[in-house]
Amino acid sequence: MIDIDETRFAGALAGKKVILAVTASISIYRIPDLIRDLRREGAAVTVGMSREAVSMINPNIMKWASEQDVITEITGYIEHISCFEGDPNDTLLMICPASYNFIGKASSGISDDVPSLFFSFALGNRNPVLIAPVMHEGMMVNPINRANLEKLKEAGVEIIPPRIQSDKAKISENEKLVDYAARALNGHILKGKKAMIIGGKGEEKIDPVRTITNSGTGTTAWWLVRSVFRMGAERVVFIGNSQQAVPDYVEYQQATTMDQYEKHALEALSGDSFDFVINSASLPDYKLEKSFRNKMDSSGPVELKLIPGKKLNSEIRKRHRGVLVVFKLSSEKDPQDIRVGFREIAPEIIVFNPLTDEKLPFGAVNNEYTFITNKETIKAGKLYKPKLSWNLLLKVSEILRNGKI
């Protein structure tokens, strides 16, 4: 058994298998931790190691992490075939770390060790295949290696971009590796779709150093963009801000003030059509009638006058005819009353969570959520943000398949 932190994992790999082929690299020390994170996301993980990888780290460490026997040689059990039994769409081959030597062999059709034999079968068996290259940057950009990677891409292999640091192409962070694994196995859900996610907290300037803001953290939006990518969306645009680092596979437009939110959202909508827009941002309903050009003198009292500001959802709806999802934090309890409040923009889904004295719904906390559509009220239950984003996007995909509600 393995411990699972519901603030960090959504179960996006539940019922899936990951065959993890490990080649020789100094970064092999990171692999046990990756195995644990893949399992925490729900995957069953089987590890295969090259002879050179075995010389660098004891297979018992991989066995501890995976709780499965580690394959270090191919025997009469033909492990390079038997490991992949079942639906190919449910079993992923990930080669991580993938050395320069492995990439050269794979692109040339050479199968002389466990990882390359796994690869030769999986590619022909139509299993999704991911490769995470790890080497010195000079080897990474070597024209022969670049040509080999292009050849593998043309054959249907997905290359996980490495993290370039200190002239080295290093393994990406576990979060990114898990995201790519989840996308490889769940990419059919939102395949080819274009999504805009709006999130984070809004601010209105009082003077050059002071603002009026709220307690939003951007955690919900951060999980939404990751889940949209995991489900295979073709384009993911994130407008807003987050306390977490935004993944580099996302088109990120930073926004904090209402003017910035509106500018970036409307520019994106005018340049492309989106299948769905989700606005989870905590935006101010009011703006200052007048802000101060210079830093205010704090020696005495100051009166500030707030006036109603624009509603971003209304501006979006004027230009967006796809699915619109909005969030509502309120002390109201009646779904019909909440629906009436959004009558003008007619969102396909209202994600409602009640405002209580217990805690604020910001950050890594679980909240009681209800999905309100035109036809039904769905009690989603008490969820952390990873599972909330996953369940919400499953509902969005259902609407996209069946047409608008």
pLDDT of 105-133, one tens digit each?
999 999 999 999 999 999 999 999 999 99
Q: What is the pLDDT confidence band of residue 363, given thresholds at 50, 70 and 90?
A: low
- Name which of 119, 189, 102 is nearest 156 in CA terms: 119
Percent of the chain scoring above 70 in pLDDT: 97
CATH assignment, 17-186: 3.40.50.1950
Topology (CATH level 3) of domain 194-402: Rossmann fold (3.40.50)
The Cα 14–Cα 67 span in angstroms is 16
What does the buried/exposed string (b/e) look like for 246-256 if buried means 16 or more CB atoms within 10 Å of the residue's CB?
bbebbebbebb
Alpha-carbon distance 392 to 349, whole Å?
9
pLDDT digits (tens, 9 = 90+) for 184-224: 999 999 999 999 999 999 888 888 888 888 878 899 999 99
CA dihedral 256, 257, 259, 265 (to 10 degrees): 30
DSSP at 378: E
Residue 336 has a pLDDT of 82
Separation CA 229–CA 223 (nearest Å):
10
250 contacts 239 by C-beta, under 8 angstroms:
no
**What is the pLDDT at residue 393?**
98
Per-residue pLDDT band for 83 (boundaries 50, 70, 90) equals: very high
Reported pTM: 0.94
Separation between Cα atoms, residue 126 and residue 172, nearest integer Å: 25
Per the structure block, which two tokens stand in for 12? Answer: 């996006």
Q: Using one digit for the tens of pLDDT, what is the confidence trace for 370-397?
A: 999 988 999 999 999 999 999 999 999 9
The dihedral through the CA atoms of 133, 79, 9, 390 has a sign that is: positive
How far, in Å, CA of 155 to CA of 349, rounded?
A: 40
Note if the bond before 128 is cis, omega within 30 degrees: no
Query: What would the two tokens of residue 148 be?
Result: 């080999």
Q: End-to-end alpha-carbon separation of the chain, Å? A: 41
- Domain extents for the chain? 17-186, 194-402
Instruction: Report the distance separating Cα 388 and Cα 369, nearest Å.
Output: 8
pLDDT value of position 374: 87
Handedness of CA 339, 345, 346, 349 (dihedral sign): negative
Closest CA to 40 of 69, 1, 78: 1
Residue 405's pLDDT is 44
Task: Say yes or no: do domains 17-186 and 194-402 share a fold.
Answer: yes
Q: What is the pLDDT of residues 306-331, one digit of tens each?
A: 888 778 999 999 999 999 999 998 77
* Identity of the amino acid at 321: R
